[in-house]
Amino acid sequence: MTTDQSISSKFLLSIIIINYNLEDEIEKCLFSLLGTLNRIEFLSDTFEIIIVDNNSPNKKLTELEKKFASDKIHFHYSDINLGFGKGCNLGASKAKGDYLLFLNPDTIVQEDIFTPIFNLFNSDNQIGIIAPKQQIRKPFFDFSAGFYPNIFYELLNLFGVGVFFEGFLMNLLTKFSSKNFIKVDWILGAAIFIKKNLFDEINGFDRDYFMFFEELDLCKRVVKKGYKIIYYHSIKINHIGSVSGKKNYFLYTVRTYASKKLFFEKHFNIPLKQILLLLLYLQLFSQIFIWMLLSPISKEKSKQKIKSFVYLIKHNLTNKIDIT
């Protein structure tokens, strides 16, 4: 690594992982992280891993704590389920690194993503966040990064295809890009590198989000501070994706739409905000129809999805979810 980075604290990098009943995934993640980090000379002695448990009912994380006993790996236990953003904030409050990496437990880091990312940080002081590509089993789509919601995108979501259009577009942009990285509006929260002083300056993740859209909100506030969001698409991690959330399609869907409404309310002005919110409400009805059609193919998933959209209609797309 070619850098004049001066380490002002005990560690250069603090990696923060949030757990909720995903101990098996965390074990695989830790093995991959340790194997990769210990091969990188400038990082092998300057990293720490912080695992925050969100009051997992199975209480199995203590077994991993014994297995991975180390002065570089720290476990913290919350008495309640804080959600993703507030769990990350708790981990960040314990961190001693100059940089933070928020990493999902269902990720595998086998290649050296760290050297190019730190080199890029050191080459441009206006970079606030960097994220690698997240390898998934959809070769024609790239859901690792994107651009802010707009009217056209939300119109497509009336038919349930907006997310696929954006993923297809991002795949084309990166495939034909002459650079290894591009500037984007947001990156997916499964792997976020950010300077700790910047994270502290903007008061971390917004505590109003329980789960989903907190990374878009974070990126929006970082950009408002004058920093850039960079998607480093030429380096990759493996990401299974939404393992915890999709164990319950009802909760997953309710929290996604409620958080999206909250994001619209916080970051868009009249009249665009009203138009986007109207389209979001209309999507609830169109999605009920779509999942009724899909019911013969996926009966249980369709049942949970329809139940979630009915709930959201009744509760006015509330962001005060009274279910855990």
229 pLDDT higher than 90: yes
Is the pLDDT score of 7 beyond 60? no
3-state secondary structure of 121: helix
Compute the distance between CA of residue 297 and CA of residue 4 in angstroms, rounded to an integer: 57
Contacts of 313 (CB under 8 A, 6+ apart): 281, 284, 285
How many angstroms separate the CA atoms of 87 and 160, rounded?
30
Question: Cβ–Cβ contacts within 10 Å for residue 182, how many?
Answer: 16
Q: Does domain 11-242 have CATH number 3.30.70.2190?
A: no
Q: 0.85 cut: is pTM over it? A: yes
Q: Is 245 exposed, middle or buried (0-12, 13-18, 19+ CB in 10 A)?
A: middle
319 pLDDT above the threshold of 60: no
Q: Average pLDDT for residues 311-324, to the nearest whole number?
A: 73
Q: Where are the beta strands (DSSP E) in the chain?
A: 11-19, 47-53, 73-77, 97-103, 107-108, 127-135, 145-146, 182-184, 186-187, 191-195, 228-239
- Across the chain, mean pLDDT equals 91
Percent above pLDDT 90 for the chain: 78
Q: Which residue has the tokens 């590198």?
A: 193
CB atoms within 10 A of CB 180: 12
**Helix (H/G/I), strand (E/B), else coil: 47:** strand
Residue 4, pLDDT > 60, answer no
Q: What is the pLDDT of residues 58-78, one digit of tens each?
A: 878 888 888 988 889 999 999
Torsion of CA 222, 188, 211, 318, to 10 degrees: 80
**Confidence check: pLDDT of 3 > 80:** no
Residue written as tokens 């480093």? 232
> What one-letter code names the amino acid at 93?
S
Query: Between these two residues, 3 and 139, which has the higher pLDDT value?
Result: 139
Q: Considering only residues 140 and 129, tell me which one the structure prediction assigns the higher pLDDT.
A: 129
Domain with CATH 3.90.550.10 in the chain: 11-242
Tell me the C-alpha distance between 318 and 128, whole Å: 31
Q: Is residue 120 packed enough to be buried (19+ CB in 10 Å), middle (13-18) or exposed (0-12)? A: middle
Are the C-beta atoms of residues 166 and 147 closer than 8 Å to each other? yes
Residue 107 has pLDDT above 70, yes or no: yes
